[in-house]
Amino acid sequence: MRPHFKFTRYLLYRFIAVWGFIALAANAQSLGSIRHEFADPPKSMRPMVRWWWPGSDVTSDELRREIRVLDKGGFGGAEIQAFRIGLKAEMPVDVAARVNDYPTPSFYRKVREAAEEAPDRGLFLDLTLGSGWPFGGGEAITPELSSIELRFTRRTLSGPSHFRERIQLPPPRPTAGMNLARLSGLPSTDLPSGWQERLQARTRIVAVMALSGTEPVVEMREGGLSPALRPVVKTPGRLDPRSIKVLTARMQPDGTLDWEVPRGQWHLFVFFQQPVETRVIGGVGAGPQLVLDHMNRTALEAHLRRISEVAGPEIGSFYGKTCERTSAIP
């Protein structure tokens, strides 16, 4: 067996040596091309940029000029998005009308003009499925289709005792999206008449459960960047997963929970859904700017209809070609 082992090891060394030589040769041959392509990469490998349009307040001549600028600047293409960040909240009526001319046939005609100019220069263009971020906006995203979040409250109960109380839910939280929407130039965060009530009607308790356990020990200490006292967990609390009791069925229609609390210390968790009223940041277009519920298929389909139904006649011939890169033009 020993001679066979030596022969096998000899072949293995030869195999490693041959492939090592091939790799070194290939690397030596590619160094020159790598240097050249790094200095002057083909257009299919050049970086792209996000191309923000002030809604539909753009002209054909300017769009074509900017495509030439992108080409000369060494970029391989751009992703178009109608946007309002950087624009004044207050603007002349005619300018505001052009900015909010989205998503309309006239907006997509301008997209088509840009999409026709780009391939002539070997550039790649893409188009986002919405204005601003996150997606939403317009009359299509009603309160029933807008974003919601799952929240919970917790309280400690001691048993044995009888708990009968109407569960009070906290008000909606102010969201960062609302503040950013104001800072991004959204003229108004007001909603149409009746929408606020329709939003609040979506608040409901989803589940109620209790687990036995201990409370954490928290101390207030100085430190950190602020001279104020801050809470520090000295001993974490513990929950017993074997003790879980689902109490959702004990909730009465008026929100009252009726429960015989067993002996010991219990933690009552109330999970509930609540609208967040998040606005589209930087969004343009007519109508409210509520963010859609991304987990709701109906909401997504409503948004896609709003964005794409009028686009087909203008840019439908480009559908299915977003992954193609036109060969570089000398």
User: What is the DSSP code (8-state) at residue 290?
Assistant: B
Question: Domain segments of the chain: what residues?
Answer: 42-133+296-318, 148-214+237-275
| pLDDT, mean over the chain | 85
Position 176 confidence tier, pLDDT thresholds 50, 70, 90:
low
Residue 249: per-residue pLDDT? 96
Q: Are 281 and 165 in contact (CB under 8 A)?
A: no
Give CATH for domain 42-133+296-318.
Answer: 3.30.750
**Residues 6 or more apart from 218 whose CB is under 8 A from it?**
231, 232, 233, 234
Q: Tell me the pLDDT tens digit for each residue of 204-261.
A: 999 999 999 998 888 888 766 666 778 888 888 899 999 999 999 999 999 999 999 9
Rounded CA-CA distance 224/217 in Å is: 20
Please answer whether residues 195 and 297 qualify as being in contact, where contact means their C-beta atoms are separated by less than 8 angstroms. Answer: no
Look at residue 15 and tell me whether its pLDDT is greater than 60. Answer: no
| DSSP H or E stretch at residue 19 | helix 2-39
Alpha-carbon torsion, ordered 210, 211, 214, 215, to 10 deg: -40
pLDDT reading at 58 higher than 90: yes
SS3 104: coil
Cα–Cα distances in angstroms (integers) from residue 177 to residues 63, 71, 173, 189, 272, in the given order: 30, 35, 11, 11, 21
Chain segment 235-245, per-residue pLDDT in tens:
888 999 999 99
